[in-house]
Chains A and B, each alone.
Chain A
Amino acid sequence: MKRIRFSILSLVVFFALPVVLQAQKLEELKKRYPGQDVVLLNASAHYRISIRDNEPYVESRENEQLMYLTTTAATYMSRYSFTQSSFHEVVEYDAYTQTPDNKKIKVANFKTADLRSGSVFYDDVKETKFDFPAVAAGAIGVLNQKIIHKKGFLLPPHYFGRRIPVVNNEMTISFPKGISVKYQLRGLETDKIQFTETKKGNEIVYKFRVKDLEPVQYYPDAPGNSYYSPHVLFYIEKYTNSEGKEITYLADADALYQLNYSFIKNINKEMGPELKRIVDSLTDGLTAQEDKARRIYQWVQEKIKYIAFEDGMEGFIPRDANLVCSRRYGDCKDMSSILTVMLNAAGVPAYYTWIGTRSLPYAYSETPLPIVANHMICAIELKKDEFIFLDGTDATCLFGLPSSHIQGKEAMIAMGPGQYKIVTVPTPPKTVNMLVDSCFLQFTDEGVTGTITQHMSGYFSINTRDVLNYYSEKEKEDYLKNRFKRGSNKFHISQYNIAEKQGREQVTLSANFELQNYARKLGDEWYINLNLLKFYEHQEIDYPKRKIPVEFSYRFIKRYVTVLTIPDGYKVTFLPKGKSYKNNVWGFVMEYEQKGNQVILTQEFHNDHLLLNPDQFKEWNEVLEHLFPQYKESISISKI
């Protein structure tokens, strides 16, 4: 993914509880969590918010206690770590093991290194790793940290769940009366979070506590964990400064915009000659704004490569457009910067725009925090109040379609000082994203041969062009072979072709193929299963066990048409009936027909969801129950 990262760490937090009756606890936990090697016995994070030098000052003390339940854990699970960045600096830490016979063995060796994330080339996130010594059943690993959170507007959310069982996890926030702190409970099962508020003198304490959480389930097709894992978002709404004046900090979208605007107000003061020359040559002879916008967007997509440097405030402030142009690389903010400058220079109204990608569930309207956004794009307004969203980090996105990871999300568009709009990015309907695959085949002595042609539009075409960018000419054949593969692993291709149509909006892939041992000829009869592709086989959702939604990249229609030519002198002796089925969630069409000397099977699937929730899983599976028996039908053809 390509986006700015606000370096919000999934910090694991707390403070120390006395280690009581370790042996008894061990037996109890073993019973409660069979098959688990380790549990999070206690986690606590205590945030203290105050005002220093007229600014909010935030620090936290965190404590974690891991209890090991088995001996096997010793050899594999002693390694532990914590992370930090320039915004969340760990200023004190220590760790030790409390052995079952109550000895304390300190961790002597901590190793800190840069933590690299897949998409970011360079940032300031660091990870400190260490091993808990003397790990054995009943041993408790304890980690304590003191963290200074240097930016009051970037307080980390507190997550309660882990990939291991959580026995007790709590978070407190203490602050004086002059500060107003707001919080939101997000994710699923937030009713498990117990909240209490206490006032002691001048101090207010919020306490959030969760007991007995099962390990967080992991599924590769799940949305980001903030959709389902229970967590607390908290923020400083306002505070009273030393002069007794009330300062609005992150009260609402206006305040958030003011903060965001401070990152862009000093950039791009002047356009350099090189950038000017490029804009002029790109728009030379064009009069319509849309044509100019298309040309400029395509240039940025092709020429500016995604490389992200996000050290400290580099993660927030877009770089100068002239610099981005000469370097020919940048991160999302830099792409937003150069697009906005170039488009405005060409007379197209263009604006810096913040947005949260679909990996985050938050919206500006309910959550006025920097955490809502992790990405920057450029919005243009060709007609009054009709925005088109241009994502420079998506090198193959089509003009007019939003990049797929911002569909349906709120965009904060910077219209000027104090002026902004929040607009919801459209979600293209399924008819925009079509994949039509036509496979023509005939029998040979060894099996079948034929041709395959795949037409793609919308996100199908975007993704295909994106993938092809990463293959050299000589690798493209392998790519196409894997993409077209059907029937069995004896599938070969030859003479492939890749074509783009209507500008770049549609992509067509085609190839000749051969598939030996697929159809069987016995005596005067041929048997062949025209379901060369069996979509969704074994893709039932694990219902009712799974509690986490399923995410889809986009809405779509996929149609696969398989056409078999009947050899001269033969006739069809058995043709399956086919079936169509659909319910409220989705459906399929499976249709056989005979036309002259051809038998045609049409398989069609459609999806109208970006997110499938657990209450829809049953119906999803129901469609599959109707689908799978269809895959078992072969046709037979015999001599007249």
Chain B
Amino acid sequence: MHTVLKQLFILILVISQGSAFAQSLPPIERESWFGSERVQKPASKYDNESAVILLDRRRVEYIDEGQELVAYRSLHRRIHIMDDKGIEYFNKVYLPVSSNNEIVDIMARTILPGGKIITVDSRNIRDLQEDNQSYKIFAMEGLEKGCDVEFYFTCKQNISYFGREVIQNSIPVQEAEVIVVAPERLIFEMRGYNKVNSATDTILRGKRFISIRQTDISGADEEKYSSYHSNLKRVEYKLSYNTARSRTERLFTWNELARRAYDIYATYSDKETKRAAEFVKKNGWNKLGGNEVAVISAVENYLKKNISTSEDTGDESGNDIEAVIKKRIASNRGIIRLYGAIFRQLNIDHEFVLCGSRQDFEVDRSFENWNNCDNHLIYFPRLRKYIAPTLLEMRYPFFNPEWIGTNGIFCKNTTIGNFTTAIAEIRKINGEDCHWSASNIDAKINLNKTLDTLQVAVRQSFTGYSSIFYRASFNLSPEEYQKELIKEMAKFVTNSERVLNTTIENRAMEDFTPNKPLVIDQVVHSSELVERAGTKVLVKIGALIGPQSEMYQEKPRQFEMDVNYPHVLNRTIEFRLPDAYTVKNAEDLKISKTVQADGQLTMGFESSYTVEGNLLKVTISEQYCRLTYPLSQYEDFKKVINAAADFNKVILVLEPK
């Protein structure tokens, strides 16, 4: 979170209040028990569910307390429990609260089918502190099948002028409501995502209410090839105007964010600048010559190998360039500042970029929710490439592929007189094309003399995003794990652990940048891929492409397909047949499922073979050229995925001549 970015000058927002604020309870909207004191049975369509959320209400209210604008957040849920799983799911409650712990209300009760009501004693509500979050935790009492549980709490929260409430999860929701309440002068905007109703607003009792109500939200299940969180129904809100100040000046714009990012990441004290200059000199980066990529790579490799970086180091020294160089511990903010200071010393054009992720939340150009751009990139306009300063396993030009295709806030420098700041340019973050990221297999196989073992010489090679996992593992994981991985890689294609020899090429982290393939050559003996049926020999040739994910038995599809990054998988298999045998069913090797759009291949699986003498050559090409595929292409997508899974099951039958 760029908490720093979002801290606001409170003074702008508050209009001076005459009287001192002296009440013990704030004059905010309060929750009270919802609905009847009897169990509320949901509609029969929910009979096979474990539980149904009857009400899920979230409310954030901003009020003036003295000279300060403060916010209170309420969460109110009532749930009908259907089975043991429902009991286990809802009998323990964790309520995230702000660290100052100013609780206005916290109530919880169970309504039993017989009509009895059990209220949780406030003495049984305990405090729990996790890394950066405090909770109130308690156990619901007396739960049995068919009961309702209900709880609500209101507490003061750290002030923020943005918010997001996800209103869908795996349990169906009968009624959800998100409400923002504020003094009349503050105008919030609210927007729903993933087919959510639009907002309504009103002014009541001198307060401005804006809300979205949604009914009958089905439970959402996780699906293969999709990002779960980004597809859930949600509501976002932000503060856009303070009419006490101006009716037209929009608050919290993207330009404003860019300006603040510049202040934080691109503004250095003289001392910091001096230290950065010394650091550049000490490492000889200023003497690397004109090749910009080489300089960027040298800086990136050094910083990522020598400085421990985490979200937040807990103290200011993690943000300070001088301290970071000395202690080699940096916060994300500190390391980004260090990159910026170094690149400025080296005269390398760069822009700070903020973005979201396809996995959860992306930047919506037309709705400036600053909470949706918590990821960092540095963009090099001359090269049109990026680095990910906070991701230690990535190197130029790699970044988290989940950020591809989302909108980035590019902070472009602009100079007015002798004052430099930044403005926001919003555009898509482009990735590389599908051929850049490949995982390939080339296998040469033959049977041993006794025809019970397949002798396999296999080369697995990976480029682009397909190489990240392997290269990172062979550099950053413990040796034991690397040995295990080598064994697993052999097993992946041969189902055997009898590895005679392994060599690995281009394993260095520095090989990312020129996109050199990470190559693993192995010689493996596999008896697992050979079976017998009387005089016939069965060779599981399809297994050489490794187990494939499948979509054979699927429920109705909810979300569009996302392949993480465009990529290809090319495989060849050369099988030297034993002299005295012929293949009975080579035609099984031919599979073709391709999908085109505008004359271009968008995805496909194709396999074919040739026979020259006793050499059987199989060529398999699988491609996913797009990042995502619309729901309308689900059947096609499934066919391609399953074509690969079908090939994996091909068994050649060898018969004596």
A residues within 8 Å of B by Cβ? 34-37, 71-72, 74-76, 78-79, 105, 108-109, 111-114, 116, 121-122, 129, 131, 133-136, 303, 305, 307, 309, 311, 326-329, 469-474, 481, 488-490, 492, 517-518, 520, 522-523, 527, 529, 537-538, 573-574, 628-629, 632-636
- Distance in Å: Cβ of B493 to nearest Cβ of chain A: 14
Q: Is B558 in the interface zone, CB < 8 Å from A?
A: no
The 5 closest A-B pairs by CB, nearest first: A35-B479, A574-B534, A133-B327, A634-B533, A472-B50
Are A75 and B141 neighbours in the complex by a CB distance under 8 Å?
no
Give chain A residues whose Cβ lies under 8 Å from the Cβ of B550.
Answer: 489-490
Chain B, Cβ-Cβ closest to A33:
B479
- Distance in Å: Cβ of B539 to nearest Cβ of chain A: 11
- Distance in Å: Cβ of A163 to nearest Cβ of chain B: 9
Are B326 and A328 neighbours in the complex by a CB distance under 8 Å?
no
Are A522 and B85 neighbours in the complex by a CB distance under 8 Å?
no
Are A522 and B585 neighbours in the complex by a CB distance under 8 Å?
yes
Q: Is B547 in the interface zone, CB < 8 Å from A?
A: yes
- Chain B residues 360-409 with CB under 8 Å of chain A are 392
A-B contact list, 7 entries, CB within 8 Å: A72-B305, A79-B308, A109-B315, A471-B85, A490-B645, A527-B653, A633-B532
A72 to B142, CA, bound (A): 53
Q: Is B649 in the interface zone, CB < 8 Å from A?
A: yes
A635 to B550, CA, bound (A): 27
Q: Identify which of B29-37, B59-67, B128-136, B183-191 touches chain A.
A: B128-136
Chain A, Cβ-Cβ closest to B530:
A632
Give chain B residues whose Cβ lies under 8 Å from the Cβ of A481.
Answer: 553
Are A632 and B452 neighbours in the complex by a CB distance under 8 Å?
yes
B residues within 8 Å of A by Cβ? 47-50, 82-88, 91-92, 118, 126, 128-131, 137, 139, 141-144, 304-310, 313-315, 317, 326-329, 392, 452, 475-476, 478-480, 491, 497, 527-528, 530-534, 536, 538, 547, 550, 552-553, 584-585, 645-646, 649, 651, 653
Are B305 and A74 neighbours in the complex by a CB distance under 8 Å?
yes
Give chain A residues whose Cβ lies under 8 Å from the Cβ of B307.
Answer: 74-75
Chain B, Cβ-Cβ closest to A311:
B126
Give chain B residues whose Cβ lies under 8 Å from the Cβ of A34.
Answer: 479
Are A527 and B476 neighbours in the complex by a CB distance under 8 Å?
no
Give chain A residues whose Cβ lies under 8 Å from the Cβ of B142.
Answer: 326-328
- Distance in Å: Cβ of A515 to nearest Cβ of chain B: 10
A164 to B392, CA, bound (A): 23
A573 to B655, CA, bound (A): 15
Quick one: given A131-B329, A634-B531, are A121 and B137 in contact (CB under 8 Å)? yes
Across chains A and B, the number of contacting residue pairs, with CB separation under 8 Å, is 169
A129 to B132, CA, bound (A): 12
A538 to B487, CA, bound (A): 11
- Apart from A75-B304, A473-B48, A489-B547: 12 A-B pairs, beta carbons within 8 A: A35-B480, A75-B392, A79-B308, A114-B129, A116-B128, A133-B327, A134-B326, A135-B308, A329-B91, A469-B85, A492-B553, A520-B653
Are A474 and B649 neighbours in the complex by a CB distance under 8 Å?
no
- Distance in Å: Cβ of B625 to nearest Cβ of chain A: 25
A37 to B91, CA, bound (A): 44
- Distance in Å: Cβ of B117 to nearest Cβ of chain A: 12
Give chain A residues whose Cβ lies under 8 Å from the Cβ of B585.
Answer: 520, 522
Cβ contact of A307, chosen from B86, B130, B139, B392, cutoff 8 A: B139
Are A72 and B530 neighbours in the complex by a CB distance under 8 Å?
no
Are B315 and A108 neighbours in the complex by a CB distance under 8 Å?
yes
Are A121 and B92 neighbours in the complex by a CB distance under 8 Å?
yes
A129 to B533, CA, bound (A): 61
Chain A, Cβ-Cβ closest to B542:
A517
- Distance in Å: Cβ of B321 to nearest Cβ of chain A: 15
Cβ contact of A474, chosen from B48, B480, B553, cutoff 8 A: B48
Are A37 and B478 neighbours in the complex by a CB distance under 8 Å?
yes
Cβ contact of B308, chosen from A78, A112, A470, cutoff 8 A: A78
**A129, A472, A636: most-surrounded residue (chain B CB, <10 A):** A472
Quick one: given A474-B49, A489-B547, are A632 and B532 in contact (CB under 8 Å)? yes
- Distance in Å: Cβ of A104 to nearest Cβ of chain B: 12
Are A116 and B130 neighbours in the complex by a CB distance under 8 Å?
yes
A628 to B129, CA, bound (A): 52
A248 to B48, CA, bound (A): 60
Are B328 and A135 neighbours in the complex by a CB distance under 8 Å?
yes
Are B533 and A635 neighbours in the complex by a CB distance under 8 Å?
yes
Give chain A residues whose Cβ lies under 8 Å from the Cβ of B310.
Answer: 131
Give chain B residues whose Cβ lies under 8 Å from the Cβ of A121.
Answer: 92, 137, 139
Are A489 and B645 neighbours in the complex by a CB distance under 8 Å?
yes
Give chain B residues whose Cβ lies under 8 Å from the Cβ of A307.
Answer: 91-92, 139
- Distance in Å: Cβ of B327 to nearest Cβ of chain A: 4
Give chain A residues whose Cβ lies under 8 Å from the Cβ of B314.
Answer: 109, 111
Are A636 and B534 neighbours in the complex by a CB distance under 8 Å?
yes
- Distance in Å: Cβ of A87 to nearest Cβ of chain B: 18
Are B532 and A74 neighbours in the complex by a CB distance under 8 Å?
no
Cβ contact of B313, chosen from A109, A633, A634, cutoff 8 A: A109
A490 to B475, CA, bound (A): 36
Are B533 and A527 neighbours in the complex by a CB distance under 8 Å?
yes
A598 to B82, CA, bound (A): 45
Give chain B residues whose Cβ lies under 8 Å from the Cβ of A529.
Answer: 531
Are A74 and B328 neighbours in the complex by a CB distance under 8 Å?
yes
Chain B, Cβ-Cβ closest to A481:
B553
Give chain A residues whose Cβ lies under 8 Å from the Cβ of B137.
Answer: 121-122
**B307, B533, B534, B585: most-surrounded residue (chain A CB, <10 A):** B533
Are A636 and B533 neighbours in the complex by a CB distance under 8 Å?
yes
Are B328 and A472 neighbours in the complex by a CB distance under 8 Å?
no
Give chain B residues whose Cβ lies under 8 Å from the Cβ of A472.
Answer: 48-50, 82-83, 85-86
Are B392 and A122 neighbours in the complex by a CB distance under 8 Å?
no
Give chain A residues whose Cβ lies under 8 Å from the Cβ of B532.
Answer: 632-634
- Distance in Å: Cβ of B469 to nearest Cβ of chain A: 16
A490 to B49, CA, bound (A): 28
Chain B, Cβ-Cβ closest to A528:
B533
Give chain B residues whose Cβ lies under 8 Å from the Cβ of A114.
Answer: 128-130
Give chain B residues whose Cβ lies under 8 Å from the Cβ of A35.
Answer: 478-480
A522 to B305, CA, bound (A): 58
Are B306 and A490 neighbours in the complex by a CB distance under 8 Å?
no
Give chain B residues whose Cβ lies under 8 Å from the Cβ of A520.
Answer: 585, 651, 653
Give chain B residues whose Cβ lies under 8 Å from the Cβ of A75.
Answer: 304-309, 392
Chain A, Cβ-Cβ closest to B110:
A328
Quick one: given A490-B550, A633-B531, are A136 and B306 in contact (CB under 8 Å)? yes
Give chain A residues whose Cβ lies under 8 Å from the Cβ of B313.
Answer: 109, 131
Give chain B residues whose Cβ lies under 8 Å from the Cβ of A634.
Answer: 531-533, 538
Give chain B residues whose Cβ lies under 8 Å from the Cβ of A537.
Answer: 528
Chain A, Cβ-Cβ closest to B584:
A522
A78 to B306, CA, bound (A): 11
Cβ contact of B131, chosen from A111, A133, A635, cutoff 8 A: A111
Are A488 and B649 neighbours in the complex by a CB distance under 8 Å?
yes
- Distance in Å: Cβ of B55 to nearest Cβ of chain A: 21
Are A305 and B88 neighbours in the complex by a CB distance under 8 Å?
yes
A328 to B140, CA, bound (A): 9
Are B84 and A469 neighbours in the complex by a CB distance under 8 Å?
yes
Are B139 and A329 neighbours in the complex by a CB distance under 8 Å?
yes
Chain A, Cβ-Cβ closest to B142:
A328
A469 to B128, CA, bound (A): 28
A481 to B552, CA, bound (A): 12
Are A303 and B144 neighbours in the complex by a CB distance under 8 Å?
yes
**B142, B553, B653: most-surrounded residue (chain A CB, <10 A):** B553
A134 to B87, CA, bound (A): 49
Are A632 and B308 neighbours in the complex by a CB distance under 8 Å?
no
Give chain A residues whose Cβ lies under 8 Å from the Cβ of B128.
Answer: 114, 116, 122
Give chain A residues whose Cβ lies under 8 Å from the Cβ of B533.
Answer: 527, 574, 633-636
Quick one: given A105-B327, A472-B50, A520-B651, are A328 and B130 in contact (CB under 8 Å)? no
A303 to B86, CA, bound (A): 13
Are A72 and B141 neighbours in the complex by a CB distance under 8 Å?
no
- Distance in Å: Cβ of A631 to nearest Cβ of chain B: 8
Are B649 and A490 neighbours in the complex by a CB distance under 8 Å?
yes
Chain A, Cβ-Cβ closest to B131:
A113
Are A538 and B491 neighbours in the complex by a CB distance under 8 Å?
yes
- Distance in Å: Cβ of B389 to nearest Cβ of chain A: 13
